[in-house]
Amino acid sequence: MKKTIILFAVSLIWITQIILFAQDQADTSYWKAQWQGNLSFSQASFTNWAAGGENNLAINAFFKHFNAYQKEKNTFDYGLDFGYGLNKIGDQDFQKTDDKIHLFANYGRIISTNEKLLVSALFDFKSQFDAGYASIKDSIPISKFMAPAYVLLALGLDYRPVKYFQINFSPVTAKLTLVLDQRLADSGAFGVEHAILDDNQQVITPGKTSRWEIGTFMKFSFNKELVTNVNFQSKLELFTNYLENFGNIDVNWDNALVFKVNEWLAANLTVQLIYDDDILVPLFDDNDVQIGSGPRLQVKQVFGMGLNFQINP
Protein backbone atom coordinates (compact mmCIF):
# COMPACT_ATOMS: atom_id res chain seq x y z
CA MET A 1 0.00 0.00 0.00
CA LYS A 2 2.80 2.43 0.92
CA LYS A 3 4.65 1.74 -2.32
CA THR A 4 1.43 2.36 -4.23
CA ILE A 5 1.00 5.76 -2.57
CA ILE A 6 4.54 6.78 -3.49
CA LEU A 7 4.26 5.57 -7.08
CA PHE A 8 0.95 7.40 -7.42
CA ALA A 9 2.42 10.66 -6.11
CA VAL A 10 5.47 10.45 -8.38
CA SER A 11 3.32 9.57 -11.38
CA LEU A 12 1.10 12.55 -10.62
CA ILE A 13 4.01 14.89 -11.29
CA TRP A 14 4.51 13.59 -14.80
CA ILE A 15 0.79 13.33 -15.54
CA THR A 16 0.31 16.97 -14.54
CA GLN A 17 3.12 18.00 -16.84
CA ILE A 18 1.59 16.08 -19.75
CA ILE A 19 -1.82 17.69 -19.18
CA LEU A 20 -0.37 21.18 -18.96
CA PHE A 21 1.84 20.62 -21.99
CA ALA A 22 -1.08 19.28 -24.01
CA GLN A 23 -3.01 22.43 -23.23
CA ASP A 24 -0.18 24.71 -24.34
CA GLN A 25 1.68 22.67 -26.95
CA ALA A 26 1.21 25.47 -29.47
CA ASP A 27 3.11 27.89 -27.24
CA THR A 28 6.03 26.59 -25.17
CA SER A 29 6.80 30.01 -23.69
CA TYR A 30 4.95 28.97 -20.52
CA TRP A 31 7.72 26.42 -19.74
CA LYS A 32 11.25 27.01 -18.52
CA ALA A 33 13.50 23.98 -18.17
CA GLN A 34 17.04 23.31 -17.00
CA TRP A 35 19.25 20.22 -17.11
CA GLN A 36 22.57 20.00 -15.30
CA GLY A 37 25.01 17.13 -14.77
CA ASN A 38 28.57 16.46 -13.69
CA LEU A 39 30.94 13.48 -13.73
CA SER A 40 34.21 13.86 -11.83
CA PHE A 41 36.96 11.53 -10.67
CA SER A 42 40.34 11.59 -8.98
CA GLN A 43 43.07 8.95 -8.81
CA ALA A 44 46.45 8.50 -7.16
CA SER A 45 48.91 5.60 -7.53
CA PHE A 46 52.15 4.90 -5.63
CA THR A 47 54.96 2.48 -6.45
CA ASN A 48 58.09 2.36 -4.28
CA TRP A 49 57.24 5.85 -3.07
CA ALA A 50 59.58 6.63 -0.17
CA ALA A 51 57.26 9.19 1.41
CA GLY A 52 54.45 6.62 1.59
CA GLY A 53 50.84 6.72 0.48
CA GLU A 54 48.00 4.46 -0.61
CA ASN A 55 46.46 4.06 -4.05
CA ASN A 56 43.04 5.65 -4.22
CA LEU A 57 40.24 6.24 -6.68
CA ALA A 58 37.16 8.46 -6.32
CA ILE A 59 34.20 8.88 -8.68
CA ASN A 60 31.28 11.28 -8.20
CA ALA A 61 28.30 12.12 -10.39
CA PHE A 62 25.13 14.15 -10.14
CA PHE A 63 22.21 14.97 -12.40
CA LYS A 64 19.58 17.68 -11.89
CA HIS A 65 16.49 18.58 -13.87
CA PHE A 66 14.10 21.44 -13.17
CA ASN A 67 10.98 22.51 -15.05
CA ALA A 68 8.81 25.55 -14.29
CA TYR A 69 5.41 26.40 -15.78
CA GLN A 70 3.50 29.66 -15.43
CA LYS A 71 0.37 30.79 -17.18
CA GLU A 72 -1.76 33.61 -15.85
CA LYS A 73 -2.12 32.91 -12.11
CA ASN A 74 -1.12 29.23 -12.16
CA THR A 75 2.41 27.93 -11.57
CA PHE A 76 3.79 24.39 -11.48
CA ASP A 77 7.41 23.56 -10.66
CA TYR A 78 8.90 20.10 -10.52
CA GLY A 79 12.34 18.56 -10.60
CA LEU A 80 14.70 15.79 -9.65
CA ASP A 81 18.14 15.71 -8.09
CA PHE A 82 20.27 12.54 -8.20
CA GLY A 83 23.77 12.12 -6.77
CA TYR A 84 26.10 9.16 -6.31
CA GLY A 85 29.78 8.80 -5.42
CA LEU A 86 32.29 6.02 -4.68
CA ASN A 87 35.74 5.99 -3.11
CA LYS A 88 38.35 3.20 -2.95
CA ILE A 89 41.51 3.38 -0.83
CA GLY A 90 44.21 0.73 -1.19
CA ASP A 91 42.83 -2.80 -1.10
CA GLN A 92 39.60 -1.77 0.62
CA ASP A 93 36.27 -2.23 -1.08
CA PHE A 94 34.51 0.72 -2.67
CA GLN A 95 32.64 2.89 -0.18
CA LYS A 96 29.95 5.34 -1.21
CA THR A 97 30.61 9.02 -0.56
CA ASP A 98 27.37 10.45 -1.91
CA ASP A 99 23.93 8.94 -2.45
CA LYS A 100 20.82 11.01 -3.09
CA ILE A 101 17.40 10.72 -4.69
CA HIS A 102 15.21 13.82 -4.50
CA LEU A 103 11.94 14.39 -6.38
CA PHE A 104 9.68 17.38 -5.82
CA ALA A 105 6.68 19.19 -7.25
CA ASN A 106 4.94 22.41 -6.26
CA TYR A 107 1.66 23.85 -7.55
CA GLY A 108 0.96 27.51 -6.85
CA ARG A 109 -1.86 29.99 -7.39
CA ILE A 110 -0.95 33.69 -7.39
CA ILE A 111 -3.06 35.67 -4.90
CA SER A 112 -1.31 39.07 -4.80
CA THR A 113 -1.30 41.89 -7.33
CA ASN A 114 2.51 41.98 -7.45
CA GLU A 115 2.56 38.19 -8.18
CA LYS A 116 4.96 37.52 -5.29
CA LEU A 117 2.58 35.65 -2.96
CA LEU A 118 0.96 32.32 -3.82
CA VAL A 119 -1.05 29.59 -2.14
CA SER A 120 0.75 26.32 -2.77
CA ALA A 121 0.63 22.55 -2.55
CA LEU A 122 3.97 20.78 -2.20
CA PHE A 123 5.10 17.19 -2.74
CA ASP A 124 8.64 16.16 -1.78
CA PHE A 125 10.32 12.72 -1.83
CA LYS A 126 13.85 11.81 -0.64
CA SER A 127 15.68 8.49 -0.49
CA GLN A 128 18.92 6.84 -1.64
CA PHE A 129 20.09 4.30 -4.22
CA ASP A 130 22.43 2.03 -2.30
CA ALA A 131 23.08 0.45 1.10
CA GLY A 132 25.10 2.39 3.67
CA TYR A 133 27.37 1.09 6.45
CA ALA A 134 28.52 2.55 9.76
CA SER A 135 32.17 1.87 8.90
CA ILE A 136 34.21 0.09 6.26
CA LYS A 137 34.63 -2.89 8.59
CA ASP A 138 30.89 -3.56 8.79
CA SER A 139 28.97 -5.92 6.53
CA ILE A 140 25.47 -5.20 7.91
CA PRO A 141 23.87 -2.10 6.32
CA ILE A 142 22.40 0.66 8.46
CA SER A 143 20.42 2.10 5.53
CA LYS A 144 19.12 0.96 2.13
CA PHE A 145 16.98 2.10 -0.78
CA MET A 146 13.62 3.16 0.72
CA ALA A 147 15.08 2.67 4.20
CA PRO A 148 14.77 5.47 4.90
CA ALA A 149 12.58 7.41 2.51
CA TYR A 150 10.80 10.65 3.36
CA VAL A 151 7.61 12.00 1.80
CA LEU A 152 6.23 15.47 2.49
CA LEU A 153 2.75 16.68 1.54
CA ALA A 154 2.24 20.33 2.44
CA LEU A 155 -0.31 23.13 2.01
CA GLY A 156 0.64 26.72 2.59
CA LEU A 157 2.04 29.91 1.10
CA ASP A 158 4.95 30.75 -1.21
CA TYR A 159 6.65 34.13 -1.12
CA ARG A 160 8.88 34.97 -4.10
CA PRO A 161 10.28 38.50 -3.64
CA VAL A 162 12.96 38.02 -6.32
CA LYS A 163 13.68 35.38 -8.95
CA TYR A 164 16.54 33.79 -7.06
CA PHE A 165 14.95 33.58 -3.57
CA GLN A 166 11.80 31.84 -2.36
CA ILE A 167 10.18 31.09 1.01
CA ASN A 168 7.62 28.33 1.49
CA PHE A 169 5.58 28.22 4.71
CA SER A 170 3.22 25.29 5.21
CA PRO A 171 1.33 25.21 8.53
CA VAL A 172 -0.41 21.99 7.45
CA THR A 173 2.22 19.39 6.57
CA ALA A 174 2.14 15.59 6.60
CA LYS A 175 5.54 13.88 6.84
CA LEU A 176 5.82 10.16 6.12
CA THR A 177 8.98 8.25 7.09
CA LEU A 178 9.38 4.87 5.42
CA VAL A 179 11.78 2.10 6.48
CA LEU A 180 10.97 -0.69 4.02
CA ASP A 181 13.52 -3.11 5.45
CA GLN A 182 12.11 -5.21 8.25
CA ARG A 183 15.41 -5.71 10.08
CA LEU A 184 15.96 -1.95 10.26
CA ALA A 185 12.28 -1.37 11.12
CA ASP A 186 12.52 -3.90 13.96
CA SER A 187 15.44 -1.93 15.40
CA GLY A 188 13.41 1.30 15.33
CA ALA A 189 15.74 2.95 12.83
CA PHE A 190 14.96 6.52 11.68
CA GLY A 191 12.21 7.02 14.26
CA VAL A 192 9.75 4.23 13.37
CA GLU A 193 8.25 2.12 16.17
CA HIS A 194 10.61 -0.75 17.00
CA ALA A 195 9.66 -4.41 17.35
CA ILE A 196 8.44 -5.93 20.61
CA LEU A 197 10.71 -8.80 21.73
CA ASP A 198 10.24 -11.65 24.21
CA ASP A 199 12.75 -12.64 26.90
CA ASN A 200 14.73 -14.62 24.31
CA GLN A 201 14.99 -11.57 22.02
CA GLN A 202 12.59 -13.11 19.53
CA VAL A 203 10.18 -10.81 17.70
CA ILE A 204 6.62 -10.90 19.03
CA THR A 205 5.33 -7.88 17.14
CA PRO A 206 7.32 -6.67 14.09
CA GLY A 207 8.49 -3.08 13.99
CA LYS A 208 6.46 -0.54 12.03
CA THR A 209 7.79 0.26 8.56
CA SER A 210 6.25 3.73 8.46
CA ARG A 211 5.63 6.73 10.65
CA TRP A 212 3.29 9.67 10.02
CA GLU A 213 3.87 13.10 11.51
CA ILE A 214 1.73 16.22 11.29
CA GLY A 215 3.44 19.55 11.71
CA THR A 216 4.62 22.79 10.17
CA PHE A 217 7.23 23.14 7.46
CA MET A 218 9.37 26.00 6.16
CA LYS A 219 11.69 25.99 3.17
CA PHE A 220 14.12 28.70 2.06
CA SER A 221 15.52 28.40 -1.49
CA PHE A 222 18.32 30.48 -3.00
CA ASN A 223 19.86 30.08 -6.47
CA LYS A 224 22.05 32.86 -7.89
CA GLU A 225 25.23 33.48 -9.83
CA LEU A 226 27.33 35.30 -7.23
CA VAL A 227 30.03 36.39 -9.65
CA THR A 228 30.79 35.40 -13.24
CA ASN A 229 30.87 31.59 -13.56
CA VAL A 230 30.27 30.99 -9.82
CA ASN A 231 26.77 29.81 -8.91
CA PHE A 232 25.49 29.24 -5.37
CA GLN A 233 22.45 27.09 -4.57
CA SER A 234 21.07 26.65 -1.06
CA LYS A 235 17.96 24.96 0.37
CA LEU A 236 17.13 25.09 4.08
CA GLU A 237 14.21 22.91 5.24
CA LEU A 238 12.73 23.04 8.75
CA PHE A 239 9.99 20.80 10.18
CA THR A 240 8.48 20.41 13.65
CA ASN A 241 5.88 17.87 14.78
CA TYR A 242 2.71 19.28 16.35
CA LEU A 243 1.90 16.12 18.34
CA GLU A 244 5.32 14.92 19.55
CA ASN A 245 8.10 17.09 21.00
CA PHE A 246 6.76 20.27 19.43
CA GLY A 247 9.63 22.73 19.07
CA ASN A 248 12.21 20.08 18.23
CA ILE A 249 13.13 21.08 14.68
CA ASP A 250 14.29 18.70 11.97
CA VAL A 251 16.88 20.52 9.85
CA ASN A 252 18.04 19.71 6.32
CA TRP A 253 20.38 22.29 4.79
CA ASP A 254 21.78 21.56 1.34
CA ASN A 255 24.36 23.88 -0.26
CA ALA A 256 26.22 23.74 -3.57
CA LEU A 257 28.85 25.95 -5.19
CA VAL A 258 29.50 25.44 -8.90
CA PHE A 259 32.69 26.93 -10.36
CA LYS A 260 32.46 26.91 -14.14
CA VAL A 261 35.84 26.71 -15.88
CA ASN A 262 34.49 26.49 -19.43
CA GLU A 263 31.52 25.00 -21.27
CA TRP A 264 32.43 21.41 -20.37
CA LEU A 265 34.59 21.66 -17.25
CA ALA A 266 33.46 22.68 -13.77
CA ALA A 267 34.26 22.17 -10.10
CA ASN A 268 31.51 21.46 -7.56
CA LEU A 269 31.50 21.76 -3.79
CA THR A 270 28.46 20.48 -1.89
CA VAL A 271 27.86 20.64 1.87
CA GLN A 272 24.80 19.13 3.54
CA LEU A 273 23.85 19.42 7.22
CA ILE A 274 21.10 17.33 8.81
CA TYR A 275 19.75 17.25 12.34
CA ASP A 276 16.84 15.01 13.30
CA ASP A 277 16.46 13.75 16.87
CA ASP A 278 14.66 10.66 15.52
CA ILE A 279 17.84 9.56 13.71
CA LEU A 280 20.29 7.85 16.05
CA VAL A 281 23.86 8.05 14.79
CA PRO A 282 26.36 5.32 15.87
CA LEU A 283 29.10 6.57 18.22
CA PHE A 284 32.59 5.01 18.23
CA ASP A 285 35.59 5.13 20.54
CA ASP A 286 39.20 5.73 19.48
CA ASN A 287 39.51 2.05 18.53
CA ASP A 288 36.53 2.28 16.15
CA VAL A 289 34.34 0.22 18.51
CA GLN A 290 30.71 1.29 18.72
CA ILE A 291 29.86 2.52 22.21
CA GLY A 292 26.32 3.73 21.65
CA SER A 293 24.15 5.94 19.48
CA GLY A 294 22.28 9.22 19.66
CA PRO A 295 21.07 12.22 17.67
CA ARG A 296 23.94 14.23 16.24
CA LEU A 297 24.53 16.94 13.65
CA GLN A 298 25.27 15.10 10.41
CA VAL A 299 27.62 16.78 7.93
CA LYS A 300 28.45 15.63 4.41
CA GLN A 301 30.91 17.45 2.14
CA VAL A 302 31.74 16.42 -1.43
CA PHE A 303 34.14 18.15 -3.81
CA GLY A 304 34.68 17.19 -7.42
CA MET A 305 36.01 18.56 -10.67
CA GLY A 306 35.21 17.09 -14.04
CA LEU A 307 32.95 17.03 -17.06
CA ASN A 308 29.92 19.24 -16.73
CA PHE A 309 26.90 20.11 -18.83
CA GLN A 310 24.06 22.57 -18.43
CA ILE A 311 21.16 23.13 -20.80
CA ASN A 312 18.79 26.10 -20.51
CA PRO A 313 16.44 25.98 -23.52
Mean pLDDT of the chain: 86
For residue 2, name the pLDDT band (cuts at 50, 70, 90): very low
Percentage of residues in the chain with pLDDT exceeding 90?
47
User: What are the φ/ψ torsions at residue 130 (nearest 5 degrees)?
Assistant: -125, 165
Look at residue 12 and tell me whether its pLDDT is greater than 70. Answer: no
Specify the pLDDT at position 266. Answer: 87
Look at residue 40 and tell me whether its pLDDT is greater than 60. Answer: yes
User: What are the φ/ψ torsions at residue 52 (nearest 5 degrees)?
Assistant: 85, 170
> Quick one: average pLDDT of 103-112?
93
Look at residue 236 and tell me whether its pLDDT is greater than 50. Answer: yes
The strand pairing partners of 76, in sequence order, are: 69, 107
2-43+52-311 domain in CATH 1.10.3470? no
Domain ranges of the chain: 2-43+52-311
The identity of residue 216, as a single letter, is: T
More confident residue, 210 or 268: 210
* Residues with Cβ within 8 Å of residue 178, at least 6 apart in sequence: 2, 6, 146, 147, 148, 149, 150, 151, 209, 210
Percentage of residues in the chain with pLDDT exceeding 70?
91
> Quick one: average pLDDT of 208-221?
96
What pLDDT, in 10s, does the model give residues 123-152? Answer: 999 999 999 987 777 888 999 999 999 999
Look at residue 6 and tell me whether its pLDDT is greater than 80. Answer: no
Strand ranges in the chain using DSSP code E only, listed in sequence order: 31-44, 56-71, 74-89, 95-110, 117-127, 149-162, 165-178, 196-197, 203-205, 210-227, 230-241, 249-260, 265-275, 281-284, 290-294, 298-311
